[in-house]
Amino acid sequence: MAQHLFNIPDMTNDQTLKEAIEAWIAQYKYRDKFYEGKIINLWDSIVGVMISRETEQLYIKNKVLFVKLKSPALKFELEYAKTKLIKSLNKKADHEVITDIIFL
């Protein structure tokens, strides 16, 4: 019997590729990092071109999305949309990834 290079969870032919990847992510505890990456990648599509251009850096720490912006005025305006942004990003990621956003 051949040994596998990776300890991959038992998969059946009935499992979709998505389910198999999710099982692998869960087994190796990469789930949080996976969803954090998903949130970072969704930022541009959620906020649009104008805000995306003004975004210098994004990172997540302890379920908080930190967004470094070029414009202080935009930072002030986005504070009012914070709750909506959190809901939109989490909904698109199909998982509650962030609980707050801090604009820098």
What was the pLDDT predicted at 9?
Answer: 55
What is the b/e burial string over 62-101, where b = at least 16 CB atoms within 10 angstroms of the residue's CB? eeebebebeeeebbeebeeeeeebbeebbebbeeebbeeb
**pLDDT tens, position by position, 19-67:** 887 777 777 667 788 889 899 999 999 999 999 999 999 999 999 999 9
So where are the chain's domains? 17-103
Is residue 4 scored above 80 in pLDDT? Answer: no
The pTM score is 0.74
Task: For domain 17-103, give its CATH number from 3.30.300, 3.40.50, 2.30.29, 3.90.1570.
Answer: 3.30.300
Helices (H), 13-81: 17-27, 31-47, 49-54, 72-80
What was the pLDDT predicted at 24?
Answer: 75
**pLDDT tens, position by position, 88-101:** 999 999 989 999 99
